[in-house]
Chains A and B, each alone.
Chain A
Amino acid sequence: MTLAKSRNMDEFLKNRASVAGLIVILMLITAAILADFIAPYDTDKIALKEKLKSPSWEHPMGTDQLGRDVLSRMIYGTRTTFELSILVVALTSTFGVFIGIIAGYFRGVIDEILMRLIDVLLAFPSIILALVIIGALGPGMINTIVAISLVGWLFYARVARATTLSIREKEYIEGARAMGCSDGYICLRYVLPNCLPPIIVLMTLNLGSVILSIAALGYLGLGAQPPTPEWGSMLNEGREYLRDCPWLCVFPGLMIMLAVLAFNFIGDGLRDAIDPRQMVIK
């Protein structure tokens, strides 16, 4: 395993875009964790005298319409975004993989019911479904998590089911049954670890799109509510001042792009490193 691990690692490190993505994400995570120490100003401190200042040494990203420091809000916004997106991905991947393995392992009626349910949910555009859910539950962070998660698990379930279908026909599963292992134990010890590689790739790629969804809902005023700093809602607040004070929109926009790109690069790199078929093609 050590050998395989290091080979995968080498493959990943050879991909410069992925390494760059990894560095960006590590920096963002550090910023999110250390927000209390590195943010120069209080995010909620209103100073109307200082409002709409362009970037300067005092305020590297300028100030907004209420005189709040944009850099500080960006740093705390990283925390909000990462908390939400990691929570969403953790919830959806766990639930989705659970459902997917059950459907793929047991097949039959259970599989049919679960997969048709997923088909129905996938038929709706995900953002519209999220809007409907938030419309019903009301805006807010918890409802954002609910709305995105409700659609998010579908992809994990599908990938996990497909992988499980191929794994359940493997001889070591037959061997485990011949040894007297129960179905539950086989799912946990044999199927789950073997279907993790594609799930891990999916998780990194999915983190990017979850960040985008959170920002989109924030931009529409349905996600994090003011005064909570969040990239999407900052973008929305800055919209009115776009002509005179572009920094209000440019920095949050850049940040969203950077985070999503970084996660996608990591996901691509991981896929190339883990999936042996891709390596042969190259």
Chain B
Amino acid sequence: MTLLSIEHLNSHFMTVDGIVRAVDDVSLEIGENETLGLVGESGCGKTVLALSLLRLLSENTKTDGRVIYKGRDLLKLNEKELRGVRGKEIAHIFQNPLSSLNPVLTVGFQISEPFLRHQGLKKSIANSRAVQMLGLVRIPSAPDRAKEYPHEFSGGMRQRAMIAMGLACSPSLIIADEPTRGLDVTIQAQIVELMKDLIKNSGASMLLITHDLSLAAQLCDKVAVMYSGEIVEYADIKEFFKGPAHPYARSFLESVPSRGMKPIRGISPSLINPPPGCRFHPRCDCSMDICKSVHPPLTEVKDGQHARCLLYA
């Protein structure tokens, strides 16, 4: 069953230098109980894609396409309907736990907010639910900790608090934007374990955004590789790690320390004037003459593995 399907989504920023095509004609599907990893280098449009789904971008962004969630197009909902979806149906866990909590409200209150807003619970009940949630994300002595402010929490604890906030209303879809960013390796491992458990128990789907392939390998069922605003490869996680089809995905995998730490030459292309033809051709080892002029479509390489490359067209 498809829970969320993104169809031909575009998110363009109108700037003085030109139109920044941060998300360009992206189509993806997330099934129920499925975790989709969205990977790619910095600045390829992963975060913008995630923010577009709940229309959290600033006013100078032009977003079109369709985002169908349970039969409704999120891009066509009015502000009030959208507020009912945000946090209740689809939760967003932000990438920077250090600055994503309001410094002047206690952590407990911030976690109880979704209960107050979406479930209309009484303050005292919402508060005890918040303490419960803190316990669920394994914060010791949760009742006392709930009364503390974000600056009294360590980075890992703040990220857990963020996760608790996201999971509060048992959403069907969790969008986790680099949930382990800025945390050290041991804490990362704890957070990953925690998220694995919570997802298994709650039965929610997740869109996991990361540039950490090992994190994707541990948590995801499917993986989509994004490059320069486009999806260049979309595959089952096992197939992907067996052998990525797209040259970029292959180089991306080889750039990981455990796989040789081979850098990809060149720099990421501008999102205002992407290279003509295949966007990866100036950096690609397999590039042919045709790559300079023809923009490749996303084609199926083998069962369930798709790549945007002329090698397979």
Contacts and interface: CB of A to CB of B under 8 A. Distances in A.
Interface of A: 1, 3-4, 107-108, 170-172, 174-182, 189-190, 193-194
A176 B102 contact: yes
With most chain B CB atoms within 10 A of its CB, the pick from A174, A177, A178, A190 is A178
Given A175-B102, A179-B92, A179-B165, 18 more contacts: A1-B148, A1-B149, A1-B152, A3-B152, A108-B59, A171-B99, A172-B100, A172-B101, A172-B102, A174-B51, A175-B92, A175-B101, A179-B113, A180-B83, A180-B84, A180-B86, A180-B118, A193-B104
A2 to B, nearest CB: 9
A180 B99 contact: no
B87 A179 contact: yes
Contacts of B56: 174, 177-178
A194 B94 contact: no
Given A4-B151, A171-B96, A178 B91 contact: yes
Interface of B: 51, 54, 56, 59, 83-88, 91-92, 94, 96, 99-105, 113-114, 117-118, 148-149, 151-152, 162, 165
A175 B94 contact: yes
Contacts of A179: 86-87, 91-92, 113-114, 117, 165
A190 B96 CA distance: 18
A181 B99 contact: no
With most chain B CB atoms within 10 A of its CB, the pick from A176, A182, A194 is A176
B94 A178 contact: yes
Contacts of A180: 83-88, 114, 117-118
Contacts of B101: 172, 175
Nearest to B86: A180
A217 B15 CA distance: 51
A181 B83 contact: yes
A171 B110 CA distance: 14
Nearest to B105: A189
A178 B177 CA distance: 12
With most chain B CB atoms within 10 A of its CB, the pick from A4, A174, A194 is A174
Interface pairs A-B: 5 shortest CB-CB = A178-B92, A179-B87, A180-B86, A180-B87, A193-B104
B100 A175 contact: yes
Nearest to B84: A180
Nearest to A168: B58
Nearest to B90: A178
Contacts of B59: 107-108
15 contacts: A172-B99, A172-B100, A172-B103, A175-B101, A175-B162, A177-B86, A178-B54, A178-B91, A178-B94, A179-B86, A179-B113, A180-B87, A181-B83, A189-B102, A194-B103
A16 to B, nearest CB: 29
A193 B51 CA distance: 26
A84 B100 CA distance: 42
Contacts of B118: 180
Nearest to A174: B56
B99 A170 contact: yes
Contacts of A194: 102-104
Contacts of B117: 179-181
Contacts of A174: 51, 56, 94, 100
Contacts of A178: 54, 56, 86-87, 91-92, 94
Nearest to B109: A189
A172 B94 CA distance: 9
Nearest to A186: B102
